[in-house]
Amino acid sequence: MIRAYGRAAATELAKLSGLPAVLATVLGTIGAAMVITGALAVSPVGADEPVAVVLQAVPYLQAGTISLGVLAVGTEYTDGQIHTTLRCVPDRLTVLAGKTLAYLAWATGTAVAALATGLLTTRVTLATRDVPVVTDGPPENIVGAAVYLVLIGLLGVALATLTRAVVPALVVTLSLILVVSPALDAITPHARYLPGRAGGLLYLPDPAPVLTPTTGLLVLLGWVVVTGGGAVAAFRRRDA
């Protein structure tokens, strides 16, 4: 079974490598990291700590990994290639495992590259302003940001599997993370249990802590597991 998953993942990696939308998303995310951190670092009222500047950019970068997650599944429904995929690999669990592993590889590389680019851009920008760079924040915050970016994109994988389309999955996932979560946060403290808010504790501390980074991670994983479980059940039972 492990060998089958490996072959499926290799096939899906090759498919994603050939998709212009995936390459554009990866390059766009890295480019956005450069532009956003550069703008934050050049601001006279911005932070002068590279890690702090990069962490401020993470909410914008999550759109990139969410898009990767949606594209990893949704594009095959757009052009009907899912039928060919299922004829070549009849075991649907293997197909989903391959797509998920391929997404994880692309998303991890994208997150690491974007955050590294952001750190480098911030350091260069602060140096050009002759701003003394203070000691960086805890490096585990950058690791937490990378983990968050990868995990939040898994919601895109699950919702694309459920909706069998790119646009609806993108709209639902991005709306939940970028619109609904901030709006509810201003209304009710229960918004902290939404995936974006809970997962955000992996890289940004809560001024009024109720959840810790560990419990925030568990809440985010809970969203991923429940949504992913529904996606797996739907994918295995219905027609392609």
pLDDT at 239: 62
User: Tell me: the pLDDT tens digits for 12-54?
Assistant: 888 888 889 999 999 999 999 999 999 988 876 556 688 888 9
Cα angle for residues 128, 132, 137 (degrees, 5° grid)? 110
| 115-145 pLDDT tens trace | 999 999 988 888 786 666 655 556 788 999 9
Q: What digits encode the pLDDT tens for the residues 60-110?
A: 999 999 999 999 998 888 877 888 888 887 888 888 999 999 999 999 999
- pLDDT at residue 57 tops 90: yes
Amino acid at 70: V
3-state secondary structure of 188: coil
Chain centroid, CA 97 distance in Å:
17
Q: Report d(CA 46, CA 212) in Å as an integer.
A: 26
- Alpha-carbon distance values, 61 to 19, 68, 110, 114, 197 (Å): 20, 12, 10, 8, 15
Is 54 in contact with 37 (CB distance < 8 Å)? yes
Lookup: tokens for 50:
């590279």
Residue ranges of the alpha helices (H) in the chain? Answer: 2-17, 20-42, 50-78, 81-88, 92-128, 139-163, 166-174, 181-185, 195-200, 213-237
CA geometry: angle at 81 spanning 68 and 225, to 5°?
A: 45
Place of tokens 């109720």: 210
CA 4, chain centre distance (Å): 26
Angle, alpha carbons 142-53-134 (nearest 5°): 90
In this prediction, residue 56 has a pLDDT band, given cuts at 50, 70 and 90, of: very high
Using alpha carbons, select from 100, 83, 82, 91 the residue that is nearest to residue 4: 91
Identify the pLDDT of residue 136: 57
